[in-house]
């Protein structure tokens, strides 16, 4: 059947309407006419599959990636970059209006990524077996079909080459991919490279590595550490297991980030787009006034944002659930001689409840995972008298739902989107909220 694509959906899919009911189709752009087949029918919506574009949008480009369709991760690669930014703006505008009644006039233009390809400083890819050999790739979206990924053009180029070199080495030892039956074998390859220093982590279900294999990986010039994390959980909710052991090399990467000296363990979070992370932190900086008494950053990772803002407050406190990240944050405060920064390990909501009972917080920065702020955190904010909040979000849907709650006590002052994840529909957003009574 034929349909006109009216707008873009939150996951980068095109949306058409059949008998007023929306149909979501990947690979099409607003304004296009497409021949599609309906693959799923639900009460309030349908899912379609593109057969052929009948009339193509001026924004359409030929994706540079050969496996773009199969892999499905870069859901906007078929649009030129300018159009991607405008679609992201539309997604954000629509979501914030729908759930939180945030006006378009408050939303600034998307801060563009100077390098929309080859920007990712890290990768986390699953292993699988192909013709009895270990290979690496991705699972197709919403499926367990494995797609081999030899080259990924959103990864930094050298990182992508290192990935292939490592798989080659592992195959020399005939290592196998994990299966749920024997709960052994390799599950994920996790690489992160900053300043030409690469941390390599093997996530596996339980196996031992030959020392010479680890030596060969360490011999790749950029690799500074090889770690392992054991995860034999069937559910596969998260990539890492509970523990991360350094098999060889340095426990941390040390690098310079803007004016800061930063230490980072393999298990700690770091934004995957180094340049845009710098832009994001500068934006947060511009939103926070000088001369704060107490500034708290919840979900602080290794504390970079807290340390960036330390000059603005008598005291900054960062809260984070990963122990290694807090160790790094404390070390980062020391290395930068920032004596007014303190870091607490624990659940952000629960720790904020404790803190706000004994101290008045002037400014709160929250940078939660995609799931957004939980009940404890929201409840604590709503009961406290925090003057302003900077909410950094990587998920417009949870951001909008949380803003809906917060807007009973806070005004949304400004919204600044940052394109951290080019070629995908994901958007990073910075929101400044101020207390209605301050």
Ligand X SMILES: C[S@@+](CC[C@H](N)C(=O)[O-])C[C@H]1O[C@@H](n2cnc3c(N)ncnc32)[C@H](O)[C@@H]1O
For ligand X, the binding residues (CB under 6 A) are 269-271, 299-301, 304-305, 319-322, 325, 347-348, 367, 369, 394
Residue 320 annotated as binding site:
yes
Question: Annotated catalytic, 394?
Answer: yes
Least CB distance from residue 303 to ligand X, whole Å? 8
The residue at minimum Cβ distance from ligand X is 301
The Cα 345–Cα 36 span in angstroms is 51
In the three-class reduction of DSSP (H, G, I as helix; E, B as strand; rest coil), residue 122 is classed as strand
Residue 271 annotated as binding site:
yes
Selected catalytic residue, list 71, 213, 227, 394: 394
Closest to ligand X by CB, 159 or 319: 319
> Which residue is associated with the tokens 């770091």?
270
Residue 178 annotated as binding site:
no
Q: Which of 312, 321, 309, 311 is nearest to 281 (CA)?
A: 309
Least CB distance from residue 177 to ligand X, whole Å? 27
Closest to ligand X by CB, 128 or 430: 430
State the burial class of residue 25 (Cβ atoms within 10 Å of its Cβ: 0-12, 13-18, 19+). Answer: buried
Least CB distance from residue 212 to ligand X, whole Å? 34
Angle between helices 81-100 and 396-406 (to 10 degrees): 30
Least CB distance from residue 367 to ligand X, whole Å? 4
Least CB distance from residue 92 to ligand X, whole Å? 17
Do residues 129 and 176 touch, judged by C-beta distance below 8 A?
Answer: yes
Q: Which of 397, 429, 405, 418 is nearest to 96 (CA)?
A: 397
Closest to ligand X by CB, 56 or 376: 376
> Which residue is associated with the tokens 């053009």?
153
The total number of residues shown for the chain amounts to 438
Do residues 102 and 96 touch, judged by C-beta distance below 8 A?
Answer: yes
Closest to ligand X by CB, 23 or 329: 329
Closest to ligand X by CB, 57 or 113: 113
The Cα 396–Cα 85 span in angstroms is 15
Which are the contacts of 158, defined by CB distance < 8 A and separation ≥ 6? Answer: 193, 196, 222
- Known binding site: residues? 271, 299, 320, 367
Residues in the annotated binding site for S-adenosyl-L-methionine: 271, 299, 320, 367
Catalytic residues: 394
């Amino acid at each position: 059947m034929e349909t006109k694509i009216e707008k873009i959906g939150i996951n980068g899919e095109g949306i058409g309407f059949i008998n007023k009911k929306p149909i979501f189709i990947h690979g099409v752009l607003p304004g296009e006419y497409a021949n599609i087949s309906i693959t799923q029918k639900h009460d309030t919506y349908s899912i379609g599959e593109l057969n052929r574009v009948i009339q193509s949008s001026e924004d359409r480009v030929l994706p540079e990636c050969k496996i773009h369709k199969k892999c499905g991760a870069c859901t906007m690669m078929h649009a030129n970059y300018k159009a991607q930014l405008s679609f992201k703006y539309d997604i954000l505008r629509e979501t914030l209006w729908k759930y939180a009644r945030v006006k378009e006039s408050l939303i600034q233009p998307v801060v563009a990524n100077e390098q929309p390809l080859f920007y990712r400083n890290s990768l986390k890819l699953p292993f699988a077996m192909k013709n009895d050999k270990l290979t690496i790739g991705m699972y197709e979206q919403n499926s367990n079909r494995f797609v081999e990924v030899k080259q990924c053009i959103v990864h930094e180029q050298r990182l992508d080459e290192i990935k292939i070199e490592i798989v080659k080495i592992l195959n020399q030892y005939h290592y196998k991919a994990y299966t749920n039956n024997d709960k052994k074998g390799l599950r994920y390859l996790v690489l992160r490279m900053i300043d030409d220093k690469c941390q390599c982590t093997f996530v596996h279900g339980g196996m031992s590595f030959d020392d010479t294999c680890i030596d060969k990986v360490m011999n790749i010039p950029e690799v500074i550490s090889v770690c392992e994390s054991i995860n034999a959980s069937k559910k596969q909710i998260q990539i890492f297991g509970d523990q991360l052991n350094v098999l060889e090399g340095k426990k941390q990467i040390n690098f310079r980030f803007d004016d800061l000296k930063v230490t980072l363990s393999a298990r700690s979070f770091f934004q995957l787009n180094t340049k845009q992370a710098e832009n994001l932190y500068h934006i947060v900086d511009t939103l926070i006034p000088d001369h704060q008494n107490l500034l708290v950053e919840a979900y602080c990772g290794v504390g970079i944002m807290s340390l960036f803002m330390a000059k603005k407050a008598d005291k900054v406190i960062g809260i984070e659930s990963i122990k290694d990240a807090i160790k790094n944050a404390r070390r980062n405060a020391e290395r930068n001689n920032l004596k007014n920064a303190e870091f607490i390990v624990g659940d952000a909501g629960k720790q904020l409840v404790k803190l706000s009972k004994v101290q008045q917080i002037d400014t709160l920065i929250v940078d939660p995972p995609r799931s957004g702020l939980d009940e404890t955190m929201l409840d604590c904010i709503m009961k406290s008298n925090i003057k302003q909040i900077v909410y950094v979000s990587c998920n417009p849907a949870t951001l909008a739902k949380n803003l809906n709650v917060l807007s009973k006590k806070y005004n949304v002052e400004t919204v600044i989107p940052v394109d951290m994840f080019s070629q995908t529909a994901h958007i990073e957003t910075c929101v400044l909220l101020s207390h209605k009574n301050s």
